[in-house]
Structures are given as C-alpha cells and as structure tokens.
Amino acid sequence: MAEPFKVHILGCGSALPTLRHHASSQVVELRDHVLMLDCSEGTQMQLRRSRVRFTKLSHVFITHLHGDHCFGLIGMISTFGLLGRTAKLHVHGPEALGPELDRQIKFFTHDLGFEVVYYPVDTKVRQVVYEDRSMTVESIPLEHRVPCCGYLIREKASLPHIRREMMDCYGIPNSQVNNIKNGADWTTADGEVIPNERLVKAADPVRSYAYISDTKYLPGLHEQLKGVTTLYHESTYGEDRMNNAEKYCHSTARQAAMVARDAGVGKLLLGHYSSRYEDEQVLLDEAKSVFDNCFLTNEMDVFDV
C-alpha cells in the first residue's frame, strides 16, 4: 500500500478577504513529512481545523511576497513558540523575505525557543530547493507582478514489493528481504538461481504535486510540469474577466486547464478565486471544457495526490 501523499486546502481565495474563503495556504503530507505551501493571514487557525499536528510541520514554502500568501507566517511562528516548540522550522521563499522575517521575529517574539532557518529561493530559475531521502522540492519560475515561483514536490522512487508467496515457496529468510528488494537473486540449497524478477513486484508509481501560485498564463509552462500526478493552478478569473487577468498577471480557469491538458497531468485543482465570484461553478465549467478531470478546491478539502 502506497505511503500517504495528501493535500489539505487551508485557503483558496485571493487577496480580498471574504466570508467564504481564506487566502492561499495548503499543507502537504508526504510519507512522514508535513510541508506548508504559502501562509496567509489566519493559516494557523485553519491548521488547527485541519487536525494536522502543528509539531509535525517542518518546512514552509512561500511563493511570493503578496500579503495573501505570507501575512500569516509571523503569527504562526509566534504561536509555535507559545506551544513550546523546540524543533527547527525551515522557511523557503524569495530572498527579500529573509531579512524582513528576521526583523519581525526579533520585534514580536522573545525567547522563541526554536530556530527559524531561512533559505532564499531564486524565483527566476528552476532548481531543487529541498531534498531528503524520500522527496525533492523544486522551484518553478512564474510571472506575476512581483518575483514569484511555484513548487513541485516529487517523491523518490520506492523499492519493489516482495512476493511473499515466492519467499515462502523457496524458504527465503526475512533477513534477505532488503537484499532482494535491492535487486539480489536467490540461490537455493541445490544451487538453483531464482532471478530477482520472480521474487518482487513492481514498485509503486512515483507521485508528484505541483503548486502553481499567482501567474499570468504561460504557454510554455506545461513543459515544466510534464506528467505531474496532481496540479494546482491558480484560476482567479473566468473568461469574462480576461482583461483583469492580463492587467493583474493572473490566469483564468480555462488557461489553467490548458496547462493541465498540455502537460498531461493526472488531475487539476482550481483555486485562488476572485471575490467577484459568488459561485465558482462557472470557473469549473470553463476548465472542464478543456480538461475534464478537474476540481474546485474548498477549505478543509483533502485531496489524494
């Protein structure tokens, strides 16, 4: 059974606060990691509602320095201090955020009790900004009114599964499981060599999640997202407000679907809705006219990647 890879929607609205939607923030659970994508005002309260444990959050990835994507960061950090956090919190984002966050921490918190480590991200290039034994996180350059990037989270390939019935058939001890998962054959007491492919089943497919934050429509973006399992792409406007999309460097739902279609992704999640829409169904309908397997996001939704 595949390890968990889930996306929790904490907020899916745009800059103007409404009573229906919080601004942008998501939590991604991948295996034993908890990551945050953007941290708008009120994110810590949404995190409580999601029932994802505060203490498990290790990395925060900020896409750009508009308030609806980062105003909640200092408040969440302060609360972590009040809760007695001791583990480091790793924050990744545009270079200009680093010194500003440091000033806020010094001004608003005292004896925080844990270290906040900041990693500047060059939003103009695609690069690995975090990597460990189970995943990579890459930046994806976007075009907005300020420096901005998205993030692509990709799990690393897992080892193949053991065929338990074959292990039992040949009396292979459990001590050899790791060797066989790593490609070893098995030689019986009679000298018969059992090839590895008879002892294992294919590994789980590698899964990936792309978070494409605020950006104008980029016709070549799909090249950066080929074969992504699940894509979140901002869809602030419908075709009725194309002028707004172009003016403010945002995308329409139909344009998001064009990226999903051209990239050959598994499914598309829509979000970052303009407050002008009281019913986002029109956005979903426009997206589905181009790419059928797409979904509206709403607060507290959980999607399996």
What residue type is assigned to position 9 of the chain? Answer: I
What are the b/e assignments for 241-257, b being 16+ CB within 10 Å?
Answer: beeebeebbbbbbbbbb
Can you read off the two tokens belonging to residue 26? Answer: 């998501």
279 carries an active-site annotation: no
Q: Which residue has the tokens 């994507």?
A: 69
- If phi > 0 it is left, if psi is from -120 to 50 it is alpha, else beta; for residue 209 that is beta
CA angle at residue 118 from 113 to 119, to 5 degrees?
Answer: 155
Q: Which of 68, 111, 185, 292 is catalytic?
A: 68
H-assigned helices in 249-305: 253-263, 281-288
Can you read off the two tokens belonging to residue 235? Answer: 């869809």
* DSSP codes, 128-189: EEEE-SSEEEEEEE--SSS-BEEEEEEEPPPPPEE-HHHHHHTT--GGGHHHHHTT--EE-T
Can you read off the two tokens belonging to residue 76? Answer: 């969440």
Catalytic residues: 68
